[in-house]
Amino acid sequence: MRSRRWQSKMKRLVPLAALALALPALAADYPPTPAEIVAAAPAAEWTAIDPADLLVMDLAPDRDGNARRVVIQLMPAPFSLGWVENIRKLAKVQWWDGTAIYRVQDNYVVQWGALAEEKVLPNGLNISPEAAYLLPLPEASEIGWLLPHGDAEIGLARDHYAFAVAFRGGWPIGGDNGNLWPLHCYGMVGVARGIENTGTGADLYAVIGHAPRQLDRNIALVGRVIEGIEHLSSLPRGKGELGFYEDDEAEKRVPILSVRLGPEASGLPGFEYLSTDSASFAAYAHARANRQDAFYKVPAGGADICNVPVPIRRIAG
């Protein structure tokens, strides 16, 4: 009874988006929603993520004893920046085990590693120069490679922070006439640093707010959270400057039990993303930019690239 009442309320007041889910009878009257397009994409349009590109971070259980696992996809070639190799080395020597999350700044980032501790780094880490934030275009001076093709109509080209942006190889990428770089969208993971150098990768952050695109080309991006972002984004914010946990709130620093590369992580499912070159992805992006159903009356006619998250899911079975 309670549940039925709840359900009937849900139908009356289905809040924001995804109305099509609640009202399948109306679906035929509207173009397919982004979620429907993704659900209908053929298997051939999904690309498996190499488990070797996964970084699996197990946090200490929450206060109710629930496990907290965060799965990060490291950027593969040709977008992989130099810091990714350091991260692989750090994971292999289990360097992060026993470190902690020490910074949570609202509408910005969650950061972890060993900032608050004396923890010696392993040998063999390379410090890349700032120039390494940029990658050469696959074909020299061929910005056309990046310029939107099917994306043009949703206006992705009108970016505020880059000459051109587009999805390539499953990632949001920006560029100009000579270089490419990855973009700071929600969930992206980057390398914390000071000013002396570009950082090793031992301290990492994940974006948990509105895309801080001003960081593009100023700091290294190495991947994105593909599962468990809520274990980072829902952490209590730090009271200190920049969201650092202060000494009197040290109990908020979530211990990191372990960080492993995919092949060494236990119980890891497979993951796949909707190929950003596929027809379904183009239709999905178009639908994200032109919502129209029983809920959305006025399609925007455009979307910024960080408002078109690449669909990622567990491989069934």
Span 24-63, contacts to its own copies by CB under 8 A: 63
Contacts of 168 (CB under 8 A, 6+ apart): 79, 146, 276
- Tokens for 142? 């061929």
Tell whether residue 145 is a contact of its own copies (CB under 8 A).
Answer: no
Q: Name the residue nearer to its own copies (CB basis): 126 or 214.
A: 214
- Tokens for 289? 């930019």
According to CB under 8 A, which residues from 167 to 206 bind its own copies? 185-187, 192-196, 199, 203, 205
Q: Distance between CA 235 and CA 89 in Å, rounded?
A: 28
According to CB under 8 A, which residues from 248 to 287 bind its own copies? none
Among 1, 25, 77, 247, the residue binding its own copies under the rule CB under 8 A is 247
Give the distance from CA 202 to its chain's centroid: 19
Helix (H) and strand (E) counts in the chain: 6, 15
Q: Distance between CA 20 and CA 28 in Å, rounded?
A: 10
Give the distance from CA 109 to its chain's centroid: 12
Tell whether residue 314 is a contact of its own copies (CB under 8 A).
Answer: no
Tell whether residue 312 is a contact of its own copies (CB under 8 A).
Answer: no
Tell whether residue 317 is a contact of its own copies (CB under 8 A).
Answer: no
Tell whether residue 140 is a contact of its own copies (CB under 8 A).
Answer: no
- Which range of residues in 46-54, 83-91, 101-109, 253-261 is near its own copies by CB under 8 A? 101-109
Selection from 271, 235, 294 nearest residue 48 by Cα? 271
- Which range of residues in 10-18, 76-84, 87-95, 135-143 is near its own copies by CB under 8 A? 10-18
Q: How far is the CB of 182 from its own copies (least distance, A)?
A: 14
Give SS3 for 88: helix
CB atoms within 10 A of CB 153: 15
Tell whether residue 118 is a contact of its own copies (CB under 8 A).
Answer: yes
- Helix H, strand E, coil C: the string for 147-189 is CCCHHHHHCCCCCCCCCEEEEECCEEEEECCCEEEECCCCCEE
According to CB under 8 A, which residues from 202 to 241 bind its own copies? 203, 205, 209-219, 229-230, 233-237, 241
Cβ-contact 148, 164 below 8 angstroms: yes
Among 15, 42, 124, 317, the residue binding its own copies under the rule CB under 8 A is 15
- Which range of residues in 70-78, 98-106, 120-128, 276-284 is near its own copies by CB under 8 A? 98-106
Tell whether residue 4 is a contact of its own copies (CB under 8 A).
Answer: no
